[in-house]
Structure 1
Amino acid sequence: MPGATSITFRASETETAQSALARLTARYGQADPDRADVIVALGGDGFMLETLNATMDRDTPVYGMNCGTIGFLMNEFDEDGLIERLSAAEEAVINPLAMRAVTTDGTVHEGLAINEVSLLRAGPQAAKLRISVDGRVRMEELVCDGALLSTPAGSTAYNYSAHGPILPIGSGVLALTAVAAFRPRRWRGAILPKAAHVKFEVLNPAKRPVMADADGRPVRDVETVEIRSEPEIRHRILFDPGHGLEERLIREQFA
């Protein structure tokens, strides 16, 4: 990012991140968030997601440095040469998923997810879900522990743990993945166009309660959940050269 000299630092509450924040602001200064050229996030992937959501109205690129345990969206931590690293950084632009969840009492909850929106059983019995894509029912009944819709950026997270596919960052598709599917037992999910509108209906929610989760923000007792990509919102993420999202996604498949 050429000319990135004005930096706002944000840090998670961990001792490691707070210590790094103190040292980096003493060395590079702390710019007004509304006027900064770049935001540097200090923490792990969870804090990176929090930072992207908190700053999405500014259209300011975010460069993460790993001070946590998981750092797929982060760069290696190094106090030296930060201005030079920012100037050479590669930018990836991703769009979040927009979730609209309606609970059994009629309350509407909306949220955004950079990685995935997931539905998970919230009781002892398996969930039963009906799945529609663009207004057409594609699966009358999925009996499972849950299901999720993932972006390419999130495809190596929960989606991959649930045996979903890793998606190239520029592929223009989303991964619909079942979590411990019981019936149909052999269903392995689907790859959908990025513009698809996906609707989950919870069958018998009183007996088989389900919660929805958008990047760690849960909504309990959902009855319907609608998900679509939100092209009007752009998250700009910076990576060191040769370590961008595309390379990371490819490398993950050969780990």
Structure 2
Amino acid sequence: MGEKKEFARMALVASSAGPAQAAARQLEKSCPWVPLDEADAVIVLGGDGFMLQILHQMLDARRVIPAYGINLGTVGFLMNRYRQNGKLAEKVAKARHISVSPLHMTAITQDGARHEHSAINEVSLLRETRQTAKIEVEVGGKIRIPELACDGVLLATPAGSTAYNLSANGPILPLGSNLLALTPISPFRPRRWRGAILPDKSKVVFRVLEPDKRPVAAVADQKEVRDIAEVHLQVAGERELTLLFDPGHSLDERIVSEQFVA
């Protein structure tokens, strides 16, 4: 978590959805907005998907600035509540700074090609056909599961632990816990294995078994790579992101609250 501060130059970006565009028109004259590549912070109007898109855009450009999201989408877990009458610049200056480190994925396909992507939420391996996937799971240089028969498997960050990971019955991880969630998707064998909680220093490798008969795709947030041979994962601490949250509505509080929802 960083210090609270005022940002001299802010950018405003909005998803193409109607509510986000309407809010952008209302906010146009509230600040002297600058382009994203000149800003000290960015205001993101939309939902979680659009926030992830903007965060990935900054990672790809290798210029990362704090992001304050305003929820005008559906879930909005990474966003703040939309208040039409709020003084936005003051709210951003008072916001709490939450640091989030993405996963770095190196995916090697059956033809030997290497694909590298970042994942803020999770990296998931998913079967491509009706055939059950068979995947070897290595953690910390040791093979922990020689053959996981499943629909897939994922590795989630704390920020992503309430997304796909939670729907696959994975654990919710508080921010700052320095943990990762390793979660199987519809596991068939080992039948009783429900996943593991790992230190975020762990290096995880997934190797696809019988790839010709049981092809597997890897998805890093919104980027998909098909016909996987193996996937190498570790936290990219040097690519840290900063999310801004209103006091009392921060991401760590939402993670705690989510665990008490019936």
Q: How does 1:98-113 map to 2 (within 5 A)?
A: 98-113=104-119
Please show how residues 128-167 of structure 1 align to structure 2 within 5 Å. Answer: 128-167=134-173
What is aligned with 1:34? 37
Q: Helix, strand or coil: the match of 2:255?
A: helix
Would you say how many aligned residue pairs link Structure 1 and Structure 2?
255
Q: Are 1:5 and 1:83, in contact at CA under 8 Å, matched by a contact in 2?
A: no
Kindly provide the CA deviation profile for residues 81-136 of structure 1, in whole angstroms up to 9, marking residues without a partner as x. 11111111001001000001111111111100000000011101110000111221
Q: 2:71 aligns with which of 66, 70, 78?
A: 66
Unmatched 5+ residue regions in structure 2? Answer: none
Structure 1 letter corresponding to 2:247: P
Residue segments in structure 1 that go unaligned for 5+ positions in a row: none
Distance 1:37 1:201 in 2: 41
Q: Is 1:94 aligned with 2:97?
A: no
After superposition, the C-alpha distances for 1:184-235 in whole angstroms (9 at most, x for unaligned) are 1100111111011100000001100111000021111111011110011011
Matches of 1:162 and 1:32, distance apart in 2: 39
Q: C-alpha separation between the residues in 1 aligned to 2:87 and 2:13?
A: 18
Find out whether 1:212 has 2:218 as its counterpart: yes
Distance 1:146 1:32 in 2: 40
Counterparts of 1:167 and 1:3 in 2: how far apart (Å)?
30
- Counterpart Cα distance in 2 of 1:233 and 1:175: 20
- Give the AA of the match of 2:115: H
- Tell me the equivalent position of 2:80: 75
Q: For 1:165-184, list aligned pairs within 5 A.
A: 165-184=171-190
Report Cα offsets for 1:1-37 as digits up to 9, x if no partner. 4222422011111122122222212322321323323
Letter in 2 for 1:72: F
Partner of 1:25: 28
Give the letter aligned to residue 138 of structure 2: S
Deviation at 1:168, TM superposition (A): 1.0
**SS of the residue aligned with 1:212?**
strand
Query: What is the alpha-carbon root mean square deviation over aligned residues?
Result: 1.2
TM value normalised by structure 1: 0.97
